[in-house]
Amino acid sequence: MGVASAGPRIAAVDLVGQAEHGYNSPVWLGTDDRAVAEKVMELVPGLIADLPPVNSENATKAWRDYAEVILCSDREEMAAISDSYAPEHLTVQAEDLDWWQERLSCYGSLFLGEETTVAFGDKASGTNHVLPTSGAANYTGGLSVHKFLKIVTWQKATREGCKPIAEATARISRLEGMEGHARTADIRLKKYFPDEEFDLTANG
């Protein structure tokens, strides 16, 4: 949920703000600063205890059972770990925010800079809040108009362009045991290039 090299108190408050969602809410911090990591771990229990009872109960369980604080060697390792987690929300509190925005690719919504908290996106800043969870940000983004668009594709081969595609199709199809597929390519090669010979076996 967070990559931090900034001050630990804001990072800790942000983690608690997400942990209160529920007993199974995963929260994690990646940092290359041991002092930040240790201070966050020191601060979080007190911040949780200060919440209203239900929120505190949820956050206590989430922090106990699902939280991680990961000490990394550098920002590249932090970014790689973040992309592997593909979080629903990702906060970056670090220098060179342009680098982070360019480098990171797997998240539901990205919150750049100490001034930008996830709760802004939840409640007021206007970005989409129907976001991929459980690592789904590896392959999809949040709900948008694009989810309701019908995407279609089409192909049109020329005679000459058909030749290399048909050769590849025939070989791949036979390699996969799809002889019927292969023959749809064979017949075109035979018709369009009757004077040429082709090795269309699986090992051709």
Q: Which residues are catalytic?
A: 88-89
Calculate the CA 185 to chain-centre distance: 38
Structure tokens at 46: 């007190």
Instruction: Give the pair of three-digit tokens for residue 65.
Output: 């059972």
Coil, helix or strand at residue 145? helix
Token pair listed for 160: 């000459």
148: which DSSP letter? G
Cα Rg, the chain, nearest whole Å: 26
Distance in angstroms (rounded) separating the CA atoms of residues 148 and 135: 22
Q: What angle do CA 65, 22, 59 make, to 5 degrees?
A: 60
How far apart CA 134 and CA 59 sit, in angstroms, is: 18
End-to-end, the C-alpha distance of the chain in Å comes to 50
